[in-house]
Amino acid sequence: MKAAVVDDFSQPPRFADFDAPAARPGEHLVRVRAAALSQLVRAQASGRHYSSRSTPVIPGVDGIGRLDDGRRVYFAFPRVPFGAMAEVTVVSAENCIPVPEEVDDVTAAAIANPGMSSWAALTERAHMQPGETVLINGATGASGRLAIGIARHLGAGKVIATGRNADRIKGLEALGADMSIPLDQSPEDLKATFRDVLHGHGVDIVLDYLWGPPAECLLAATSGHGGREAEPRIRFVQIGSSAGPVINFPGAVLRSSGLELMGSGLGSVSHDGLLKAVSGVFHAVGSAGLAIATEAVPLAQVQDAWNRTSRNRLVFTI
């Protein structure tokens, strides 16, 4: 069969022949129709992610396809070395869920991973309750923008969004954010802004897509927060690290606040929990007005398209 194949972590995958998989008991063969290129997939294919596997390997953690009986499904976690970016892949039967008819292949493939990130963080990790206030740190990317609508759909009483891109932050309130915070401030000014927001708006949950310096400022601002009965204990859910992989985090911040720090992703959320989150996103596409900009590219062009810079989510079609 034809597939995208990673032979060298320093090079983009090439379109090449790869031995087709055979299903084992409890598995499905899936004829793939669409698979998205996410930051997770890029990181795995470059050997930089904690879940990267040895080469040769087919990249792609999820996608849309059809089973032998014709059912259209979203599938996740193919058996290594078979990834989603191939004509055929193999997955555990329990890792396939139906796709609503009203969601097309490309949209479903593109929205699953970024939509799941906030849905799982809010439901599986933070256990959000209706009426709570959610602060999304890093809301100008695809995942963060979807997180605004998803938080609203799940019952958030107030949504606060931050962003580094001055042009894109202007549109966050139109997506449903009650207020937006620009991150292009001095560290001291940003800490003060965060402190005012945390105390003034009663933030219950933080979804952090950035880490790095913005998260340092936000975490520092929690010091002294939550010690009074009227103040909520902030559940800080770490999801992405686009602003930096490490932070300076004094232990005194934990000792002096009601902060609850946790992560959300592969390993911290069960496969079943992630699949439930994806299913929730699919069924909310219409009712919550969830949307994502996409660009469909034939898988045969994977090598040329892999490192392309685009605001749209690249989806390889087979």
**Domain boundaries defined on the chain:** 2-102+286-317, 115-263
Q: Please state, in angstroms and rounded to a whole number, the distance separating the CA atoms of residues 182 and 161.
A: 9
Instruction: Give the phi and the psi of residue 22 in degrees, each rounded to 5.
Output: -120, 135
Q: Specify the pLDDT at position 225.
A: 63
Q: What is the pLDDT of residue 300?
A: 98
The Cα–Cα gap between 28 and 32 comes to: 12
Q: What angle do CA 179, 191, 204 make, to 5 degrees?
A: 55
Q: How far apart are CA 36 and CA 63, in angstroms?
A: 7
pLDDT value, residue 30: 98
pLDDT attached to residue 245: 93
Which of the pair, 232 or 133, is modelled with greater confidence?
A: 133
Token pair 């890792």: residue: 95
Pairing of strands 72-76, 96-98: antiparallel
**Mean pLDDT to the nearest integer, 192-201:** 94
Domain boundaries 115-263, corresponding CATH code: 3.90.180.10
CATH class of 2-102+286-317: alpha beta
Kindly tell me if the per-residue pLDDT of 223 is higher than 90. Answer: no
Annotate 3-42 with b (16+ C-beta within 10 A) or e (fewer). bbbbeeeeebbebeebeebeeeeebbbbebbbbbbbbbbe
pTM of the model: 0.92
> What is the per-residue pLDDT for 165?
78
pLDDT tens digits for range 19-31 = 999 999 999 999 9
Residue 230 pLDDT exceeds 60:
no
Average pLDDT over every residue of 151-172: 91
User: Which tops the pLDDT comparison, 167 or 55?
Assistant: 55
Q: Tell me whether domains 2-102+286-317 and 115-263 share a fold.
A: yes
Q: Are 205 and 229 in contact (CB under 8 A)?
A: no
Give me the helix-helix angle, 271-284 and 105-120, nearest 10°.
Answer: 120
Please answer whether residues 283 and 103 qualify as being in contact, where contact means their C-beta atoms are separated by less than 8 angstroms: no
pLDDT of residue 150: 98
The CA-atom distances, in angstroms, between 5 and each of 9, 79, 138, 317 are 11, 15, 32, 15
Element (H, E) at 262: strand 260-263
Question: Residue 95 carries which DSSP code?
Answer: G
Residue type at 197 in one-letter notation: V
Q: What is the pLDDT of residue 231?
A: 67
Alpha-carbon distance 178 to 175, whole Å? 9
